[in-house]
Every structure is written in C-alpha cells, then in structure tokens.
Amino acid sequence: MNNAFLALAAAGLAGLSGFGISSQTTPVQTAQLVTAAPDDSQEAGVFSQWLNADAPQCVAVSKISSVSHVTRLTPQQFQFVRALYIAIPPISRQLPPGDRAVVASADGRSMIALVSGGETCARFLAPDFVLSMLTQVGKGENEAVGDPI
C-alpha cells in the first residue's frame, strides 16, 4: 500500500462516523464503545446488536453470516482495514486482533470485521466511501507509487 493511498484513507477517517466495538487492551480487558459519534443505533440496522455498548466483545462470524451476506477480503484489503481500525477512536496503539477481514452486508448497511479463529473481536460500521476505497484496494488501484519506508 502506498503513502498516497494511506493519506487518502487518513483524510477519509475524518468523515468516518458511526460506532464500533474495540477489543483494545486497557488495564481491564473490556470492550470499548467508540464515542466519537452520537449513538446512531438505528443506522446500524441488523448490526446494532454487535456494535452497541452492550455487545459482546467477541462474536462468532457464523452469527453474523446468519443475518447478512459475508464476503472475505483480500490480504491487501485486510491490511487496509487494520490501518483504518487503529485510527478509529479510541485510537489503538496496537494492531487489532485478527488474521483476516470480512465485510458483512444487509439491508443497505455494511459492517467490517477483523476475524481470528472464526470470531470477530474488532468490528465497525462501514460507510459507502470506505467500501469504495476497499474496492480500489481490492483492484490494486492507487494514485502513485511511493517509496517504501
């Protein structure tokens, strides 16, 4: 992934509203609700049960797939999603759990989940602009090739 694309993604985060569940490590390991946006429970639709304050920290992907269409992301898209996830409040200082990522879609809404061992302990509601960027990443589209660091 190049620097120009990461810059575009970072700029897009300013408009990433919604909420998600975080399994980031704190002195007491608990799920944390993203608090940067108002509670838009209605906006999450079927995914609200996994994105609200009372949601379990980890959820089996099979439960999510029982109410939505789940698509596995490519390794490049997984890395992009990990980068997005750590920048969503509360900002993470660690890589999130997971070795792959999926997008769950239902009723015109999408939730991105990082998955490990059949469970997701890190997930967030995905607006259309994030899904558009994921498509670009999946196609290998980028604006310019940067120098690796």
Between CA 26 and CA 23 the distance in angstroms is 9
For 60-97, the DSSP string reads EHHHHHTSSEEEEPPHHHHHHHHHHHHHSSSPPSSPPS
Q: Give pLDDT, residue 146.
A: 67
pLDDT tens readout for residues 87-139: 888 788 888 889 999 999 999 999 999 999 999 999 999 999 999 999 999 99
Listed by start position, the domains of the chain span 3-139
Phi, psi of 131 (to 5 degrees): -65, -40
State yes or no: pLDDT of 11 exceeds 50. no
Q: Give pLDDT, residue 107.
A: 93
**Of residues 72 and 27, which shows the higher confidence score?**
72
pLDDT tens readout for residues 20-50: 554 443 333 334 344 344 444 558 899 999 9
Peptide bond into 127 cis (omega under 30): no
For 42-66, b where at least 16 C-beta lie within 10 A, e where not — what string?
Answer: ebbbebbbbbeeebeebbebeebee
Q: Give pLDDT, residue 43.
A: 83
Q: Give pLDDT, residue 67.
A: 96
Q: Give pLDDT, residue 53.
A: 86
For the chain, state the CA radius of gyration: 15
**Of residues 58 and 25, which shows the higher confidence score?**
58
